[in-house]
Amino acid sequence: DGGITQSPKYLFRKEGQNVTLSCEQNLNHDAMYWYRQDPGQGLRLIYYSQIVNDFQKGDIAEGYSVSREKKESFPLTVTSAQKNPTAFYLCASSQNLNTEAFFGQGTRLTVV
C-alpha cells in the first residue's frame, strides 16, 4: 500500500526532553515536508527537503531539527529549545517542489 506513515500517532514528552517524530513514505517522492498545526489554525511549515541530504527551514524552524539521509525518511526532532511544542504535526511528500503534496495521518505531541 503506497502512502505516508507517521509514528507514533500520540506522543507525550516531559519538558526539557528531545523527541523524534518519524515520517516514512513509499511513494518514491523526492520532496518531503513537516508542518505544525495548532487548534483553530492553518498549517505552518517547519522544514522541507527537496532531495536527500538537503533541507530548508520553513517559517517556524526554531527549536526543531531534521535529517534526510534516505529518500523515504524525513524524521523531525523537537528539541528542548522549542518553547511550546504541544501541537499536531503533519508530514507530507510530493513528487517534487512543483507538484501537489500528500499528507500523513499526523502525530499529536503533548508536553506534560
Partner 1 sequence: ELKVEQNPLFLSMQEGKNYTIYCNYSTTSDRLYWYRQDPGKSLESLFVLLSNGAVKQEGRLMASLDTKARLSTLHITAAVHDLSATYFCAVVPNYGGSQGNLIFGKGTKLSVKP
**Closer CB to partner 1, 71 or 80, in the complex:** 71
Helix (H) / strand (E) containing 85: none
- Residue 41 and residue 31: Cα distance in Å, rounded? 24
d(CA 92, CA 85) in angstroms, rounded, equals 19
One residue of 48, 64, 74, 89 binding partner 1 per CB under 8 A: 48
Q: What are phi and psi of 24, to 5 degrees?
A: -130, 140
Q: Is 101 among the residues that bind partner 1 (CB under 8 A)? A: yes
Least Å from the CB of residue 16 to partner 1: 27
Specify the residue, 21 or 90, whose C-beta has the smaller distance to partner 1: 90
- Determine the distance from the C-alpha atom of residue 83 to the mean position of all C-alpha atoms in its chain, rounded to a whole number: 17
Confirm or reject binding of residue 18 to partner 1 (CB under 8 A).
no
Residues that bind partner 1 (CB under 8 A): 31, 33, 40-45, 48, 50, 56, 58, 88, 90, 94, 97-106, 108
